[in-house]
Amino acid sequence: MLRVGVVGYGTIGKRVADAVTAQPDMTVAGVAKRSANYEAATAAERGYPLYAADPDRAGSFRAAGLVLAGDVDDLAAGADVIVDATPAGVGAENAATYAAHGTPAVFQGGEAADVAEVSFCARANYDEAVGAASARVVSCNTTALARLLAPLDEAFGVEKARVTLVRRGGDPAQTGRGPINDVVPNPITVPSHHGPDVGTVLPDVPVDTLGLKVPVTLMHTHGVNVTLERPPEADEVRDLLAGESRIALVPGWLGVDGAGKLKDLALDAGRPRGDLWENCVWADSVAVRDRDLYCFQAVHQESDVVPESIDAVRALAGTATAAESVARTDAALGMGLSFGAPGYGDGPTGRPVSVGVDGATADD
Ligand SMILES: NC(=O)c1ccc[n+]([C@@H]2O[C@H](COP(=O)([O-])OP(=O)(O)OC[C@H]3O[C@@H](n4cnc5c(N)ncnc54)[C@H](OP(=O)(O)O)[C@@H]3O)[C@@H](O)[C@H]2O)c1
């Protein structure tokens, strides 16, 4: 059993802790929290030993009746692997503590690439992290791009990818984030950091990204254009993506017209916290014009890096191959949305199904 310490128990950390619990070969050694708030109470309720991320605040835990097992140093000493899910930049400050104990550490995408020996996405470069002392799981957007571009590059060769990322303004619990009523090019410079970040896990796939922020908390949405070396039929692309365990091809007949219904579908499916660990690619959006492939995909920012973090733990510990780890993670989490009917892109009659908004059809 790998004992995994989770430092930072917020949006990502709490999901990672639950995902660790779901694995047959891992257990939660403890979680480190800074504030004695509702998330700390949840961690205690779930039986995760609590550690103080900031020893100066330990008194507030005691005052709330929350028992502390120690601090981050103690957690690093007692864990086989640490997953650091603290806010951007804090992981870099914590790195020396993990290294001092010789405890391998998984960092998150808010950190600069040089926080770890290797940047990581299981589909792209699992093997590079095997036996390393540290890995950085790339950000939610970068993870989704790497998952999509890796199989496309293998099957058809990617000459160049251009992606517009419509990014959620904040997570549901981030009351202080915006924009509230705006559409903001962010960053205003091109490319955004996401394209170069893909290069840390897929160095041979050229991709330029443009970023915007919009006032939603649900998911990111990517408008994707990939120039391929060997152009396929659209159905070949759908078949390829349907074969990827961490891509859900969303058929038109479901009537899922946006991120809102995707999240509703996840809740209906009984997903914990309504999480969607998979890239959600609209099957009807897949189109090929000459050598250019187009599609839309939605990315659940709160959860797509969670299975990657689990795989990164096994890679650092050297306890599984890429195929073994991905299969084990996916099975334990319940990855894969089953839509109960064949023909993701075609309706029962074999004609393309187009589900529009408010009754609009493709002819409108
Ligand atoms: N949220 C996303 O959409 C998303 C997606 C992919 C990757 N990431 C990356 O994942 C990492 C974590 O992001 P998040 O969204 O999960 O952040 P978050 O929700 O703000 O959670 C951060 C956690 O770290 C704790 N913390 C704060 N300061 C700390 C410190 N000095 N030492 C130890 N712990 C501290 C916080 O505790 P308190 O609440 O008690 O202060 C909280 O439990 C970042 O690198 C981020 O870029 C985030």
pLDDT at 340: 53
Q: What is the mean pLDDT of residues 199-215?
A: 98
pLDDT for the residue 337: 81
Q: pLDDT digits over 112-143, tens only?
A: 999 999 999 999 999 999 999 999 999 999 99
- Output the pLDDT for position 341: 46
Is pLDDT at 146 greater than 50 in this prediction? yes
Cα dihedral sign, 39-45-48-54: positive
Cα separation, 167 vs 144, in Å, equals: 13
CB contact set of 47 (below 8 Å; sequence gap of 6+): none
Average pLDDT, the chain: 93
Which whole number is the average pLDDT over 55-60?
A: 96
Segment 258-279 shows an average pLDDT of 96
Instruction: State the residue for tokens 């093997």.
Output: 127
pLDDT value, residue 284: 96
85 Cβ below 6 A of ligand 1: yes
At residue 154, the 3 state secondary structure works out as helix
Q: What are phi and psi of 120, to 5 degrees?
A: -140, 135
CA 120/CA 138 separation, integer angstroms: 6
268 pLDDT above the threshold of 70: yes
* CB of residue 12 inside a 6 A radius of ligand 1: yes
Q: Is the CB of 219 under 6 A from ligand 1?
A: no
Query: Would you say the CB of residue 86 lies under 6 angstroms from ligand 1?
Result: yes
Element (H, E) at 97: helix 90-100
Distance CA 281, CA 343 (A): 14
Atom 45 in ligand 1: residue holding the nearest Cα: 110
In the numeric block, the tokens 């517009």 are attached to: 164
Question: What confidence tier does 357 reach under pLDDT thresholds 50, 70, 90?
Answer: very low
Going from the Cα of 9 to the center of ligand 1, the distance in angstroms, rounded, reads: 7
Express the helix, strand and coil content of the chain in percent, nearest 5 each.
35, 25, 40
Tell me the catalytic residues.
Answer: 140
**Distance between CA atoms of residues 2 and 298, nearest Å:** 32
| Beta partners for residue 295, in sequence order | 224
Helix crossing, 305-317 with 122-129: angle to 10°?
20
Element (H, E) at 285: none
Mutate to test the pocket of ligand 1, among 108, 277, 302 (most ligand atoms within 8 A of CB): 108
**Distance (Å, whole) CA 325 – CA 302:** 21
Cβ neighbours around 97 below 10 Å, total: 19
Q: Which of 165, 180, 271 is nearest to 221 (CA)?
A: 165
Which residue's C-alpha comes closest to atom 6 of ligand 1? 140
Q: pLDDT per residue over 160-196, tens digit each?
A: 999 999 999 999 999 999 999 999 999 999 999 999 9
